[in-house]
Amino acid sequence: MKHHSTNKSIFIIFLLIPLAAGALSALFTGNMSGSYASFTKPSFAPPGILFPIIWTILYLLMGVSSYIVAQSDHPDKLLALRTYFI
């Protein structure tokens, strides 16, 4: 794998794409914390406050991963990115 110079603006765009998708999803689903609080949950269920934090971390990792794929020289790079963006 070749080392590519990091283009910060492209990297930021790749981070913002999944974050924007997550924000739109949150906008359309509304505040789910009230619903989650009303569910019957097992004792090991995480507190509701963790979900927005974990989702944000996951979206950031998706952005980093897609940037790494976009920077690779693998012949299936375009297929992977098309699948990701569907």
User: Does residue 11 fall inside a structural domain?
Assistant: no
User: Does residue 48 fall inside a structural domain?
Assistant: yes
Cα 24 from chain centroid?
12
CB atoms within 10 A of CB 14: 20
Domain assignment of residue 58, given as a range: 17-85
Would you state the pLDDT for residue 10? Answer: 94
User: Does residue 39 fall inside a structural domain?
Assistant: yes
User: Does residue 5 fall inside a structural domain?
Assistant: no
Would you state the pLDDT for residue 1? Answer: 52
Q: Rounded to whole angstroms, what are the CA distances from 13 to 8, 16, 70, 85?
A: 9, 5, 12, 13
Q: What is the pTM of this model?
A: 0.79
User: Does residue 7 fall inside a structural domain?
Assistant: no
pLDDT tens profile 10-66: 999 999 999 999 999 988 887 776 778 888 989 999 988 898 899 999 999 999 999
User: Does residue 52 fall inside a structural domain?
Assistant: yes
Q: How many separate domains does the chain show?
A: 1
Q: How confident is the model at residue 6 (pLDDT cuts 50, 70, 90)?
A: low
Would you state the pLDDT for residue 32? Answer: 72
Would you state the pLDDT for residue 5? Answer: 60
